[in-house]
Every structure is written in C-alpha cells, then in structure tokens.
Amino acid sequence: MCHAFTMVTGYCCAHATMYIDVDSLPLPEIAGSLPGQMTIGPIHASVFPLSMAMFSIHPLQSISATEIKRARNALLANHDKEVISFREIFIQEPRKGDLSAFLDAEHRGELPFTTPKRLAKCQYDVIGTDKVPYYHEATVDIESGKVLEHEVIGKEHQAALTLDEFDILVEVCKESKSFQDALKEFTLPDGFEVVVEPWPYGGLDLTDENRRFFQGLIFAQDTRNGNPDSNFYAFPLPLIPIMDFHKREIIRIERLATGGRGDGIETKTQNEAKILDHCANAEYVPELLPNGTRKDLKTLNVVQPDGPSFKVTDNSLVEWQKWRFRVSFNPREGAVIHDVHYDGRSVLYRLSISEMTVPYADARAPFNRKQAFDFGDGGAGNCANNLSLGCDCLGVIKYFDAWTINSKGDISPQSNVICLHEQDNGIGWKHTNWRTGRAVVTRSRELVVQFIITLANYEYIFAYKFDQSGGIDIETRATGIVSSVNIDPGKTSDYGNVVGPGVLAQNHQHIFAFRIDPAIDGHRNTVIQEESHMVPLNAATNPRGDYYEVRKSPIKLSGWADAAPQYNRVFKMVNTSRKNRISGNPVGYKLTPPATQLLLADPGCIQYKRASFAQHHLWVTKYKDDELYAGGRFTLQSTKEVGGVADAVARGDNVEDEDVVLWSVFGLTHNPRVEDWPVMPVEIHSVHLRPADFFEANPSIDVPSNKNLSSQEVYQEGSKCCKPAKL
Amino acid sequence: MCHAFTMVTGYCCAHATMYIDVDSLPLPEIAGSLPGQMTIGPIHASVFPLSMAMFSIHPLQSISATEIKRARNALLANHDKEVISFREIFIQEPRKGDLSAFLDAEHRGELPFTTPKRLAKCQYDVIGTDKVPYYHEATVDIESGKVLEHEVIGKEHQAALTLDEFDILVEVCKESKSFQDALKEFTLPDGFEVVVEPWPYGGLDLTDENRRFFQGLIFAQDTRNGNPDSNFYAFPLPLIPIMDFHKREIIRIERLATGGRGDGIETKTQNEAKILDHCANAEYVPELLPNGTRKDLKTLNVVQPDGPSFKVTDNSLVEWQKWRFRVSFNPREGAVIHDVHYDGRSVLYRLSISEMTVPYADARAPFNRKQAFDFGDGGAGNCANNLSLGCDCLGVIKYFDAWTINSKGDISPQSNVICLHEQDNGIGWKHTNWRTGRAVVTRSRELVVQFIITLANYEYIFAYKFDQSGGIDIETRATGIVSSVNIDPGKTSDYGNVVGPGVLAQNHQHIFAFRIDPAIDGHRNTVIQEESHMVPLNAATNPRGDYYEVRKSPIKLSGWADAAPQYNRVFKMVNTSRKNRISGNPVGYKLTPPATQLLLADPGCIQYKRASFAQHHLWVTKYKDDELYAGGRFTLQSTKEVGGVADAVARGDNVEDEDVVLWSVFGLTHNPRVEDWPVMPVEIHSVHLRPADFFEANPSIDVPSNKNLSSQEVYQEGSKCCKPAKL
C-alpha cells in the first residue's frame, strides 16, 4: 500500500495488496455435474442456472477469486488432518488437444461447443509431523472440487519463493543475535538504519543439499530525511546472512570483500568501523533530489477523443485492427498471449516470456551465488507491479486484474497487473509519387500489452506489441537500481564499475527466453533456417559478381541454433501445406534471432549448468503439454537445469511438419555505467516476429492516411506556438 | 506540386517546387569588406548597417536565398563568356580549426568573436565550345563574391545527378524513335500508358568510359481510373533504354529476361505481345483501394497544451532538455547535426548520414548495374520530401526550409525539408520500492530531427533522436515500393520473390554509413574497443567460474573493425585526459555497432569495388577537412571507391588521443516478402550512442515523474470509455 506521503502528492503507487474476506465471495452451487467434459453455450444455460457465472468462463480466462476459493477449499478438505501453507493457485491450462478443439469450434462459430474443464494448479506446503514442510503440487477440478493429480515434490527440488518467505527472512534477521552481533562491527552514521534485502540463494553449494535457504543483502538507510523511500542501495554493508528457512534461523553470516583491483579474490573486508563514511546519498524520489526536477519539460498528452480502437471481452479477449487474441495472467509467467489470429487466420497458439537468468560475474565468494531466475525463482506474476493510471502508459488504457493467495489461504486482488493501450510508432509506410507530388503516408499504430516486475532492486518492463502490418514485437526494458556492493575508497575493480561513492555495481548478464508456440494456419508447422550467402564469381551462376544465394534448410529434428548475422540468418515458421498464392512459398512468419552475447560463465560451473537454455539463441522442440519453462520447472537453489529446453531438445523428436515450439534467447551483458546510477535509464531490446509470405499483400495497405488535424506548427523563432493543421 | 485532386481531400502533399524571381530577393550591399576573416557581434553592428541580415548568419546556418544569389552571380561573372548549367550551390563549411575556435568562443560567451567566412560550394557545368559540358566546382566567398577555389573535374568522375537530368531522360525517351519502336513489340492493354522511371547508371562497363549515361526502368500505368497516382510499378516492361546525356540520345535499349528458376541467366525475354496480361493492379492511394480503408481505427492525437519544450533560434540552433545543437541542410547529406552539447559539455562536433549503397543481386545482365548510392548519386537533400503538417509527425512541429537552384540558375525554396518534434518513447526509468509501495516512474521524451527522401520507387526516413538520458539514436526506416521487374506467369526466381502477379521484387541490400565526429569534452579523443570474454575456470582468477573479463584496447592507427556480438564488442569514444570523478574511467560515449550482414557482392566485381565502405562495420579515421563521404566524393558511374573511407584509413594516421572520426556501417539484406507489396511497411534500424561514464549519474534522474492527468481508463467491457486519471 502506498504510504500517506505519496497519496497527496500525485506520485505513482505500485503495490496495494489487501487481503479480503474470501467467505464473502459468492460461491456458485453446482446444479449438476457431468463426468469428463462439460458443455456450455446458450442452449445449456437452463441446465446450470446457478453456475453460469462460473461456467461461462472461457478456458483461457485467468483464475477468478471464486475459483481460487473452490480449489483452496478442496485442498483443505483433502488435507484435513494436516497444516497447509499455500504458495500459489492458478489455472492449469487445458491440454492442447482439448483446448485447440474448443478454440477451433469457437472460431467456426459452432455453438454449443464442448469446453475443457477448469483446472486449478495448486502449490502448497504440508507441514509434516517433523515440523518440516513438504512441498506438494495438486491439480483440482474446480467444478467438482476433486483432486485429479497430487504430487509430493522430492527434496531435490525447491518450490518457487513467495514474498511471505522474504518477509520471514527480514523478521528472522531482526531477531538473530548472531546477525545483530555481526552488525555491531560497523559503526553506522547517526540516523542510519539497517535494511535487509531478501534474495534467492542461487546455485546451492553441495554441502547444503536438501535444505531451503534465503540470503539477505544488507544496506543502511538514511532516515534523517524522514522519507521511507530514501535510497538505501547507496549504503551497502559487506554482510550476507543466510537463513535456513525450515529452522527460521540465520545459520551463517558471510563477510564480503570490499577491496579493489589487485586486492586478491579471497581477501575479505577488514573490520571497518566506518564502512559507510565514503558513501553518499543517491536519491531518486523527486522530493529528495538536491536540485529538484527539471522545470522545462512541457506536457505531452496522448488524447483519444473517440475512445480506444480495441475492444476487450471476458476480461481476456482482445480485438484490435484485425488482431484477435486472449490475454491471461499467472504467478510465474505474468501476462501470456493465446490464440492469436489476424483477419481470421491463426498465427500463434501461445506466446510467453518463459524464463530469464541474471548471473553476476564477481569472482569473489559468495557472489557466484548471485544468480536469479526471475520467473522460476520468484515468479514474474508474483512480482508484478500494480500499475496506475497516468504513470505507466499514456492515452486510453484498459487494465487487467488478477487474484493471488497468501500462505494462510487469504485471497487478494492484484489490481492493474497488465495494461493494454494503443500507441503511435511513427510512420507506418510512405510513398511519394515525385511526378505528381502526392505523398501517401500512414502512421503505425501499435497495441501494447505491458506488465512490469520488480525484483528487489531491479525492474523489467515487458511488452507484447502488435502492429497493423501483422508484426509482433516482444520488448524488454531493463531499469531499476543496479545491484550494489561496498568498495573501499579510491579503489576500482575488475568485477564491475564504481557508479557512486563507495558503490561497486557488479558486471552481470540478463538472458531472456521467450517461448513462441506458432500455429501458422494450423498446428503442423516447420521451422526453416534461411541464410543469404556470397557466391564466388563464376560464369555459370554469377558472371557479374552481384548475385547472392538464399539458402533454406528445414529443421528436421529438435535442436538449437545460434544467431548468425553475417549470413542474415532468419528462421521462418511455415505451414508447408499452405502455399502463398502470389509467391508460391509456404505461408509463414519469420523470427530474426537477436545477435547478442550468450552466457559467459565457464561450462564447468554451477551458473552455467543451471542455465542450459542461456547457451544458444534458438531452440526448436516438439510441443509437449506443460512444457513451458526454458530453465526447467524448478530453478530455486538448482544445481543444474532439469526438464528445461535442453532436455526437451534431447528427446530428438521430429519437428518437421509437426507441432513445433520455438524458444528465442537473447541477452544483455551489463557492465554498468555511472549513468546507470541511481536508477538506470531503460535499456531496450526486442524480438521481432514478422509475416513472411503469410499474407498476399501488405496487410496495412488499408490503414487510413488522413491528416492528423490536431498537429500544430511552430510558426516563429523560439518555441512560439502554433498554427493548427488544416485539411 | 500536388495535383488538384489531393488538394481538396486532405491527403498529404510532398513536393511543392516553385521557382521564384530571384531578382526580387533583397541583396544586401556590402558596406565594407575585410581581408581574411570578418567579425560580427553587437559592437560591430554599426559597421555593417546594411548587411547585418546576412552577416549575423551563424557559420552553421544553411545557405540563404540571398547567399545563393550572390554566389550564382559571382560565378556568372567569372564565366561571362561561357554558358553555365548549374547543379548545386550550398554552404562550404568552414575548416574545423576556424569553426571550432569560433564555437569555443561562442560557448564561452565571448563577444565580439571572429567568424569564419561564409563560403559557397558551387557545382556546375560549363558548356564547352565542343558543346560538351565540363563539370566544375568552385568555392565562392559570399561576402566579396570572389572565387577562392576553382576546379575542373576530370572526365573520370561524374557529377551527382540532378532532377533536371531525370526530366531530360523522360523527354529523350519520348522522342526516341528506337525506344518507341522497341515499345511496339509489346501490346499494352487498353488505357495503359508508358512510364519512364529514370535511374542512375550504376557500375559503368569499361567500354563506356568517359561518358555520362542514364538508364530508364519502364512501366505502364493504368490510366482508366483517371488517377495519376495509380501504381505503375505493378506493370513492369522488360526494357531499359540507355541515354547518352551529352548527346541527348538513346544509344542502346536493353532487353530484360522475364524467365524464372531454371531458365538460365543469359536468356532474354521472348517477344511477348501480351507482356502485362498476367499483371494486376496493386494500388496504394486510398481512393483506389478495392475495399477502401479500414474503418475501425480511432483518432490518436498528441497534444502539447503548453507548446513544445524546445526552442529554435536562427533557424538552426536547437535547445531542448539540456541538449544544444545546430541543424543544417545540404543537397547531398540532407540534415546534418553540429556542435552537440549536453548541459554545457561538448559531445559531438558533427553527425551525419554519409552514404548508402543499394546493390541488387539479380545475376542477369544488366541488373548488376542496379546499384544506387543515394547520397553520392542523387543527393539526400535534393531528394528530400517537403513534409506537411499532420502527415509526417504528430504533436507540435517545427519545420526547416532550404533553398535550391535549378540548371538555369533559378532559385527555389525547398519547404519543410526537416521536421523537428518531441515524442513519447514509453517509460524512461522506473523503480518501485516494494517496502513502501512507492513507484517512481518517468516517461522518456525524445526530440526527433527527421527528414525523408524519395528515390524513384523507394523511401527512406532518417531521424536523429535525442533523449533525456544523454543518448542519441540515428534511425533509418526503409519504406516505399520495392523495385519490380516482369516475370513470366507461374514462374519463381532465385533472384527475388514474386510479390504480385507478374512482379518479381529482386533481392538487394541497403548498406548505410553514418559519420560520427565526436568531441567528447574536446576534440582529442580515443576510440577504445571493449569486449567481454569468458575466462576458463582457474584457481587464480576464476575459482568459481562466474567471472568474465572485460578487455579494453585503444585503436592506435586508423583502421576498421567489425561487429562481434559474441564478445559484446562496443566502441567507446573517450577523452583520456578527462577522468570521470566517480569511476575513474575516461569520460566517453559508446557505440554498439549493429551486427548486420555486410556487402555480399563478390570482391572481384564492380559492385564490391565501388563500395569499400560497405565491407566493414566500423572505420576509424583521423579528421581531415572536407572528408565527409564514406563512398568517396564521386559515386555516379564510378568503377571503384575513390577518396572514401577506405582511402582515408589507408593513410595509417595515428588516431589515439587525436581528432578522430568514426564511420558506423550497417545494413539490411532485403529479400522481399509478399507483405512488402505494393508499399512496404517500415523496416526500422537504429544505431545507438550512449554516454558511458560521461556523466556522474543518470542525467535523466531529474525528469519529473508526475502523473499524466489526461490518461483515461476503460472502465467497462468492450471499449467503453473512460475514467480520467486523478492526482
């Protein structure tokens, strides 16, 4: 919840978690129950008079509060002799066979149609008689309340963390005598208070097997300004306490090196009483900026007088400019795009951000354990910002809400976790006929599905962008505060850059995996690698030397490939059974893999083994139900990637003219600049999907090219405004 | 000039060339003339009472009509016994030594200061007694009217083309009996008329040495709809007439192959009477679209109620959000950026788009001669669109005009050749403190300097974009109509893609060179190549395998380098004499060369030899006055690159701690899609310049984070609008 200060000043607010009385939610009674699949549609409305509110939910809608409540209650009944601590409850998507049959019928307009069951994926701990929690996963049929599947996860895997666990770490640190004793070695300046920043415990040491840990990065906050948002990352303390979560106990406190270049990698910090004396405030909240904010930025508004061009139905179906798709939200992946059609033709079955890893490159222990898997460890949906009007988008915005559950089983709304809006992206296409002076110029309007996650210090802004020419971009913006550690006065480091006084920002990478499940005019697709190659001058094929050869080769077996910009390597997802009537080529979409640096960790080390997905730019697998996570189902404290995309590839499936999935991997090697401090300007990267002989002409050729009559011309020197546009 | 039809319907207009009575322009008298440099400033105002309008022109302002008139008259006087045909008159920028002394004084606020002479670069033909034109270049001192330099260019080089010459080709074709006879072999459908599309004659055959040629691509236009903008590129005829410009005569008519895969590269087309019967209309002007334009796109306006945040003075000085720079315009490079400062500190001396080449890859003669150098051959400024309010930008726009001259010496305004405006680019930076729920989020506002050129069928949109974080992007958008040739019914080709019935769009590349002349806190700069490398696991430096090494190496001698994304290769332009007080690193900006495919033509062929610049991603040279053009001063009909960046590198200059220039080269290999027809959606590429330890913190940290109160929320299902944002 935003503190009172921000409520009055008009600044933005991100979190508004408020658990509600779940028993006040209406729980529809089931009038009848069918074995297997149930049917919905107008003619069945009378059969389920009391439950239509629930049963008319589309299979791709996110879970509702009522559904969470049903699933929770089913679990409680199933474990009535035990103590349950909840982690997540969200929709278990139907198997593709079932869902695509449903979607096909929906697109054909066939009513009534058979709808797959609404299933809840439930993740929870059961507190055993030994007081140790055992992690369970269960699938509950929401309608019947029956537990269809139930799995006790072995101790070799760890459940994703929850924010409740982070709160526990902070609490345990506060009460830990050993941690408080360790802190006494440092004299904090007057008015400074210790802050514990919880982090996943990355890359388990072997001796620590089978236990659940959290680590805390420790900072001090200047409280003299009375502002709870004073930036504590500017005052890092060289300590990392480690908590055994099951014992609720700090079991080890690691002392961090604060040396620089030449100080040796095993040298720990000396006992420095005045560890923060060379640090300095680095504020980012506007009221704490020494010189305030700049005054010469004039207002720029995006105004849509006739409302948005999009339409949203069922809180999930989006229709805009010939696009039609569904949006859902879950705790792990955040926003997911489903069943994407353009002008009635199928393009994608599912599009998601699957995983990312952020390994740090400081050679000194224990920094090798700084390696986050933001989707598998923490959950992008869990960490999603509650967006607010006027803050994260301009123009006319549709927000999507979600629901979450805490460990006690309380249900809470996650408001505004996705924003949907249109934006102008400059000229879309233009041609000027120089003979007549006639210019036809269209704007490129985009539809943006955006969500933003905060992971401790760092932010990622993810956006799926649809354009009028049939293109889809998946964009990431990295921002937030770089991870900082203390460095002695006057020193510099091989492991990062000194970005503020006493603050070392360590070198690191961010490597993302996007999962693209194409359905190019159907599910049987082929991935074709296409390259352009120089051809040596020769009389037979290239007598004048200008020719280059376009080589196409289908990927026949599941595998990986890397970017090769020197050959203009692109990958086309095509349907070989459907030929473009103009070109004769199979209809398709192309993906140009961004040529970015892959994982730099040594292949022998844990950082590398945990993230096989980060070792190649493109993976192609055969679709398998529930195979959604590039880095595997369990990443927290993992020592190697299990069940991730590398394992999927290892099956050696045929992927030619099959139901294929592409996994696009790209990254940024982030060696911080001083300019990244105290909050870094967005670093933007995109993956582009473009139709390639999917259509029979430019699909945006019918975008109107009318003049924008609200534009104005500056008519004098300076910034004197303005002459309006005229017809 | 826009035809009447467009004037009434509110569509956009691009060309409004109207030659004016130059003698009506006031020509200030020179009250006095000083040898060498002259001085300006308030205290000298009384010395030049009649000429201040001219003399207070800043050295970086574009040429005025009065100045063109003075230079033209000086030339006419100098050649009073000869016939002159003008090509271009534009400002010859001062030598860097002179200009930078002036700019330094200007930035120090020192008045009066010494101003370099205003010089006019004049390009013109002198018609010799043998009736053959000889190409001359002269530099005229505008104040005194004296010709300071005069050069008769040898016949081994060709002047850039002018649009007047294109008109002559069309005229000569019309009157050529051989061409009209050749056309008779083809029966055009009723109501079709022949259109000649003039092109530069690329890559001269050796036997054609020392002569000036133009070639025409031939199409037919459907006139039955009565619309002069009906798309004739959909009806290509397999003929290329070649004109000897000096003789005004069609000397050869080349017959083009229309075959497909397997037809052999030397097979010409058979005499096909009905050559267009398998072609079909492919219109793009909205009134000719069979189904009209889409109706469901609602208006999106950019509204700036308080006017723009920028200020423009002298029609050249731009101040915006701590940036301060000058914009000029010339016939060859279009818009050029000069003297770029941020918050009073120098960043760049000059930034320009230097050259581009577009080689086509059809192995069949004479398509190897399709290779345009759009800056050197035709001139980006010459081919610039006259932008119009409401068409090419949204919001509040400042337009810049230029002046041009035709062969007869008439002076003409080029109105609205540059547009300047602000735009929103999404979130600039964000951080959410999850403890307090406080999110601070800023928008990224950009300032865009945009110009658009049309080269026959094709358009390029160029934009210099400045952001609030000290970043500069140089963006290209490729759009327009792909070059089309006729292909027999039912055939496909190794040389391109069939994008419309009977229309083959040939594979080609676009390779751009941007010239970046840095002045990072002064002119003596060094380029440092920086890479990130994996380090094998070893006890001494990488005991846990997570470390990677950042390697930095200065470029000591002029040379080239290629992109290497696998090493995260970036180039930093730094000032080694100025250290960042925070990090200790030299202050600098970084350039990440886009990893794109380089020139594919065989090294033995003319296409390759003409474009040495297109063979590497980055060139580093020592600054030399007038060395502006990556592909050399003369590109039209060239057989090899002369005096381009490769020759500059060959000097082997020391470039460490010197006045260095970077030339950034990137390209797109364009194997057309059906979706690129009839007008292609923009394909966008950018080169990014980013501060790297230039500043002592994020320069945009002081951007206000206030809520945008004009945003609205969709509050119901569908697209029901809207709840306004509240403070």
Three-state DSSP class for residue B44: helix
pLDDT at B208: 61
- The 10s digit of each residue's pLDDT in A327-386 is 999 999 999 999 999 999 999 999 999 999 999 999 999 999 999 999 999 999 999 999
The answer to the question of residue B274 being in a domain is yes
Token pair 């002007």 in the structure block, residue: B285
Asked if B304 lies within 8 A of A480 by C-beta distance, the reply is no
3-class SS string, B663-690: EEEEEEEECCCHHHCCCEEEEEEEEEEE
Top pLDDT among A718 and A297 is at A297
pLDDT digits (tens, 9 = 90+) for A575-606: 999 999 999 999 999 999 999 999 999 999 99
Give the count of beta carbons closer than 10 Å to the beta carbon of residue B692. Answer: 29
Domain finish residue from B152, B182, B201: B152
Q: What predicted TM-score, i.e. pTM, was given to this entire model?
A: 0.94
Residues in B touching A265 (Cβ below 8 Å): 541, 543
Tell me, yes or no, whether A170 and A86 share the same domain: no
Asked if residue A698 is part of any domain, the answer here is no
Query: Do residue B331 and residue B472 come from a single domain?
Result: yes
Considering the domain architecture, whether residues B342 and B252 belong to the same structural domain is answered as no
Which among A303, A307, A314 has CB closest to B710?
Answer: A303
User: What pLDDT sits at residue A257?
Assistant: 93
Residue B710 belongs to a domain: no
pLDDT in tens, B49-73: 333 344 478 999 999 999 999 999 9
Q: Is residue A301 included in any domain, yes or no? A: no
Residue B699 has pLDDT above 60, yes or no: yes
Give the pLDDT score at A207: 65
Same domain, residue pair A659 and A683: yes
Q: pLDDT tens digits for A207-262?
A: 666 689 999 999 999 999 999 999 999 999 999 999 999 999 999 999 999 999 98
Domain check: are B280 and B327 in the same one? no
Three-class DSSP category at A647: helix
Confidence of residue B204 (pLDDT cuts 50, 70, 90): low
Q: Work out the average pLDDT over A559-573.
A: 98
Residue B243 shares a structural domain with residue B201: yes
Q: What does chain A come to in residues?
A: 727
CA distance A62 to chain B (A): 16
Q: What is the pLDDT of residue A167?
A: 94
The C-alpha angle with vertex B611 and arms to B62 and B498, in degrees rounded to 5, equals 100
Which pLDDT does position B154 carry in this prediction? 84
> What's the rounded Cα separation, in Å, for the pair A527 and A645?
16
CB A336 within 8 A of CB A352: yes
3-state SS, residue A386:
coil
Domain count, chain A: 3
**pLDDT per residue as tens digits for the range A105-141:** 999 998 667 889 999 999 999 998 888 889 999 999 9
Chain B residues with CB inside 8 Å of A441's CB?
Answer: 12, 391-392
| Choice among A154-168, B75-89, B136-150, B452-466 with the minimum mean pLDDT | A154-168
Instruction: Check A607 against B682: CB less than 8 A apart.
Output: no
Measured between CA atoms, the residue of chain A closest to residue B293 is A702
What residue in A sits closest to B506 (Cα-Cα)? A547
Contact B427 A481 (CB under 8 A): no
Report the C-alpha gap between A120 and A141 in whole angstroms.
Answer: 7
Please give the Cα distance from B187 to B346 (Å, whole number): 64
Peptide bond into B594 cis (omega under 30): no
pLDDT of residue B719: 72
Structural tokens at position B655: 């470039």
Residue B55 or B285, more confident: B285
User: Cα dist. A560→A589, A620, A668, A688, B669 in Å?
Assistant: 18, 6, 20, 19, 24
Angstrom CA distances, B538 to A634, B425, B532, B535, stand at 29, 45, 17, 8
Q: Are B630 and B513 in contact (CB under 8 A)?
A: yes
R_g of chain A, CA atoms, integer Å: 27
Residues of A in Cβ contact (< 8 Å) with B414: none
How far apart are alpha carbons B650 and B630 in whole angstroms? 13
User: With contacts defined as CB-CB under 8 Å, which chain B residues touch A1?
Assistant: 437
> What are the DSSP calls for A548-581, one per residue?
EEEEEEE--BSEEE---GGGT-EEEEEEEEEE-T
Closest B-chain CA to A424: B300
Do residues B146 and B185 share a domain? no
Show residues of chain B in contact with A499, CB under 8 Å: 582-583
A678 preceded by cis ω (within 30°)? yes
Confidence at residue A647, expressed as pLDDT on a 0 to 100 scale: 98
Dihedral sign (CA A356, A361, A367, A369): positive
A35 vs A568, residue with greater confidence: A568
Subunit contact A229:B422, Cβ cutoff 8 A = no
CA-based nearest distance B626→chain A, Å: 31
C-beta of residue B665 within 8 angstroms of C-beta of residue B617: yes
The reported pLDDT for the residue numbered A414 is: 94
Q: Do residue B123 and residue B212 come from a single domain?
A: no
Q: For residue A328, give the CATH number of its domain.
A: 2.70.98.20
Res A12 pLDDT > 90? no
Looking at residue B92, its pLDDT comes to 98
| pLDDT at A724 (0 to 100) | 77
Classify burial at A230, counting beta carbons within 10 Å of its beta carbon; exposed 0-12, middle 13-18, buried 19 or more.
Answer: buried
The pLDDT score that the predictor gives to residue B210 is 65
Distance of residue A148 Cα from the nearest chain B Cα, in angstroms: 34
A342 in catalytic set = no
What is the ipTM score, two decimals?
0.94
Q: Given an 8 Å threshold on Cβ–Cβ distance, is A399 in contact with B713?
A: yes
The pLDDT tens digits of the residues spanning A435-470 come to: 999 999 999 999 999 999 999 999 999 999 999 999
Asked if A498 contacts A504 with a C-beta cutoff of 8 angstroms, the reply is yes
A459, A495, A714 ranked by CB distance to B396: nearest: A714
CA pair distance A488, B64, nearest whole angstrom: 59
pLDDT reported for residue B344: 97
The Cα–Cα gap between B661 and B696 comes to 25
Please indicate, yes or no, whether residues B132 and B225 belong to a single structural domain of this protein.
Answer: no
Q: State the Cα–Cα distance between residues A454 and A477, nearest whole angstrom.
A: 12
Phi/psi at A598 (nearest 5 deg)? -90, -175
Query: Is residue A30 predicted with pLDDT exceeding 50?
Result: no
Distance from CA of A98 to the nearest CA of B (A): 27
Residues of chain A positioned with their CB less than 8 A from the CB of B499 = 582-583
Is B428 close to A296, i.e. CB distance below 8 A? no
Residue B27 pLDDT > 50: no
Encode A208-272 in three state secondary structure: HCCCCEEEEEEEEEECCCCCCCCCHHHCEECEEEEEECCCCEEEEEEECCCCCCCCCCCCCCCCC
Instruction: Give me the CATH number covering residue A96.
Output: 3.10.450.40
Please check whether residue A295 lies inside any domain of the structure: no
Q: State whether B291 and A702 contact (CB < 8 Å).
A: yes
Mean pLDDT of B499-528: 98
- For residue B707, being part of any structural domain is answered with no
Contacts of A253 (CB under 8 A, 6+ apart): A178, A179, A182, A239, A240, A241, A242
- Integer Cα distance of A117 and A103 in angstroms: 14
d(C-alpha B67, C-alpha B118), whole Å: 9
From the CA of A326, how many Å to the nearest CA of chain B? Answer: 14
The minimal CB distance from A711 to the residues B228, B393, B492 is found for B393
pLDDT at residue A266, as a whole number? 74
What tokens were used for A330?
A: 């879950």
**A contacts of B533 (beta carbons < 8 Å):** 600
Nearest chain B alpha carbon to A263: B541
The mean pLDDT of A150-178, rounded to a whole number, is: 94
Residue B411 maps to a domain: yes
**Segment A89-104, tens digit of pLDDT:** 999 999 999 999 999 9
Residue B258 included in any domain: yes
Same domain assignment for residues B198 and B137: no
Name the residue among A296, A307, A546 with its Cβ closest to that of B368.
A546
Distance between CA atoms of A573 and A586, rounded to whole angstroms?
9
- When pLDDT is averaged across residues B452-469 and rounded to a whole number, the result is 97
B174 and B68 in a common domain: no
Confidence class of residue B155 from pLDDT cuts 50, 70 and 90?
confident
- Interface contact flag, B693 A497, Cβ < 8 Å: yes
**Is residue A467 annotated as a catalytic residue, yes or no?**
no
pLDDT tens profile A607-616: 999 999 999 9
8 Å CB contact of A547 and B495: yes
Host domain of residue B46:
4-152
Would you say B634 and A652 are in contact if contact means Cβ atoms under 8 Å apart? no
**Which of the residues A222, A339, A374, A392 is marked catalytic?**
A374
Residue A431 to residue B679, Cβ atoms within 8 A = yes
What does pLDDT average to over chain B? 91
> Is A144 in the same domain as A208?
no
The rounded distance, in Å, linking the Cα atoms of A667 and B6 is: 48
